Chain A
Amino acid sequence: MEIEKMEQYASQTRRDIVRMVAAVSSGHPGGSLGCADFFTVMYHKIMKHNPEKFTMDGKGEDLFFLSNGHISPVWYSTLARANYFPVSELATFRKLNSRLQGHPSVDHHLPGIRAASGSLGQGLSMAIGAAETKKLNKDDRFVYVLMGDGELQEGQIWEAAMYAAAKNVDNIIASVDYNGRQIDGDVEDVLSLGDLKQKWQAFGWETLVVDGHNMEELITTYEKAQSLSGKGKPVMVLLKTEMGQGVDFMTGTHKWHGAAPNAEQLENALSQLEETLGDY
């Protein structure tokens, strides 16, 4: 897909995010908006996947895990817009009997989702497990996983980081949404991650850093990540993003991590986001 078209997808996804969250006055718009460009590039350019015939095992396909499950709105919109399920279903987000749970779930059988997430810190381990199975199955596709930066405060992440490097899990490409913000404030103030790039490198990972809002750079970075794979080391991409990207009053603060806009704020937000593919 051409970048111009992907920009349209990202804009529509940002509209979907704020509309979904506003409709139920709950959810997490900040991180979702910040990752819209990343998700669009992954699902429309980088990953080999089969939206029309989703299978849990995903043999011969790239797998994607979302460890920071609270940014489910951006994932749901991306999956729907990539034809995993009807776009109209986005209207059911967080409502009774919906497949679009507040945090991703498997037992509601939403195509595109292979693991529940929400309680933080578990996705990297799950992705590593799936990557080990791909190796056993002689399946040469990749396993992708996204984590939040605040999520890296969970100890399990570092158990998994150690494992992947020590055991040469070199078919995993992990990413961190490095926006520097979490619920209680700036990550630097809540619990600093220190030099994050050096940390991952010290744990034995090939570590790349990219502007998470530059689609050209995202594409070349993930192509580079793929080329670094298969050489004995896991690969980490630190996505420098802005929480709330695309909506001016939602950026520059952690306040929109888990807060929904009211009607007036929604109108303001939508006025800044072009409707490119048609609202759900």
Chain B
Amino acid sequence: MEKNIKILGEKDTRSGFGEGLHELGKSHPNVVALCADLTGSLKMNAFENDFSERFFQVGISEANMISMAAGMTIGGKVPYTGTFANFSTGRVYDQIRQSVAYSGKNVKICASHAGLTLGEDGATHQILEDIGMMKMLPNMTVIVPADFNQTKQATKAIADLDSPVYLRFGRPKVPIFVADDAEFVIGKADTIFEGKDVSIIACGHMVYKAIEAAQELAKEGIDAEVINMHTIKPIDAKAILATAKKTGCVVTAEEHMINGGLGDSVAQILSRNTPTPQEYVGVNDTFGESATPAELMTKYNIDTADVIAAAKKAISRK
């Protein structure tokens, strides 16, 4: 029941995006990048500097950016758009729906500062509905990587997928635990810890919270399996069913509304195949507020302690 993991450092996931994009500049001549006045925040400067001909600063006009990116695919470019998650989704839902998803355009919508961990800027910028909005769109792949290395790997992997992608990452520095040479396979979940008592299925920043929770639970003799469900759509149904069969109860954990998020996707797989007790760690139908990321995760019940409590409750329902 050892729950050991090697921590490789601490970095923000958005920097993983920036590095991945920069490497794509070298390896993929057809990759272009568009940004709506947040180049520094999205860590797109390296790409901008080294591949200026392929970098398009559109100013504060996200709708134009998304439709333009869709148009740029005609002729073979692979556009990556960059802005905050709120402005990448809610503000431009119709542009994504018609210009990108319904038009089947190979646009990579890259969204930083997602969720509560954006912190002090407050609820106007803390989008918690974006996974739901994006996963409802036909043709859309939705990816929420867990750390710096995985964000970098995912950024590179989606370049070779010929369809629209929503890639969600964040602002704060978080521990790095995915190996820097790990292969990112879209739609294939990573098992971080094997366990037999409860399955914790998490995405994004909540994967590390799940790791911490599993380590605490182990001290109490509870053997938790931790799964990094980095791809929300297409969801890895096989992994969900296998872990549910093994442990008999599930916790989902996400920095997102409970409505419409990862938990909903997991529940749909379970209810259709093998109804299993499931507890949800997520934001419960409320907006956020200004504070530090850590304070917000505690107040809005998406901290390590909440994952632990949910795991115990799930076990009690077996």
Contacts and interface: CB of A to CB of B under 8 A. Distances in A.
A107 B64 contact: no
Interface stretch (B66-74, B150-158, B237-245, B280-288): B66-74
A126 B68 contact: yes
Contacts of B73: 129, 133
Interface string A143-160: 000000000000110011
Interface in B37-82: 53-54, 56, 58-59, 61, 63-77, 79
Contacts of B99: 115-116, 122, 125-126
Contacts of A115: 70-71, 74, 99, 103, 105
Contacts of B98: 116-119, 122
Contact of A136 (B64, B68, B77): B77
A233 interface: no
B102 A121 contact: no
Given A116-B99, A125-B99, A126-B67, A107 B74 contact: no
B35 to A, nearest CB: 13
Given A106-B102, A106-B104, A159 B64 contact: yes
Contacts of B105: 115
A56 B58 CA distance: 25
A163 B62 CA distance: 12
Nearest to A154: B63
Interface residues of B, number: 32
Contacts, number: 118
A163 B99 CA distance: 18
B15 interface: no
B94 interface: yes
Contacts of A121: 63
Contacts of A155: 63
B110 to A, nearest CB: 16
Interface stretch (A57-65, A193-201, A243-251): A57-65
Interface in A78-132: 105-107, 114-119, 121-123, 125-132
Question: Chain B: interface secondary structure?
Answer: helix
Contacts of B61: 156, 159-160, 162-163
A131 B68 CA distance: 9
A186 interface: no
B102 A163 contact: no
Given A107-B104, A116-B103, A119-B94, A56 B74 contact: yes
B75 A130 contact: yes
A257 interface: no
B83 to A, nearest CB: 13
* A57, A105, A126, A160: residue with the most chain B Cβ atoms closer than 10 Å: A126
Interface residues of A, number: 39
A75 B74 CA distance: 20
B63 A156 contact: yes
A134 interface: yes
B95 interface: yes
A59 B75 contact: yes
Nearest to A122: B67
B32 interface: yes
Contacts of A211: none
Nearest to B107: A129
B56 to A, nearest CB: 7
Contact of B64 (A65, A119, A125, A133): A125
Nearest to A117: B98
Q: Taking each of B71, B79, B102, which has the highest tally of chain A beta carbons within 10 Å of its own beta carbon?
A: B71
A134 B73 CA distance: 10
A55 B63 CA distance: 26
Contacts of B66: 125
A156 B98 CA distance: 14
B55 to A, nearest CB: 11
A268 B102 CA distance: 38
A139 interface: yes
A227 interface: no
Contact of B71 (A116, A129, A156, A162): A129
Contact of A133 (B65, B72, B102): B72
Given A114-B74, A125-B71, A133-B73, 8 more contacts: A59-B75, A125-B65, A125-B95, A129-B68, A129-B79, A130-B72, A131-B71, A132-B72
7 contacts: A114-B74, A122-B67, A126-B70, A129-B69, A130-B71, A133-B77, A156-B95
Interface of B: 32, 53-54, 56, 58-59, 61, 63-77, 79, 94-95, 97-99, 102-105
Interface of A: 56-59, 63, 65, 105-107, 114-119, 121-123, 125-134, 136-137, 139, 155-156, 159-160, 162-163, 166-167
| Ranked 8 nearest A-B pairs via Cβ | A129-B71, A125-B67, A159-B61, A126-B71, A133-B75, A129-B68, A159-B64, A129-B72
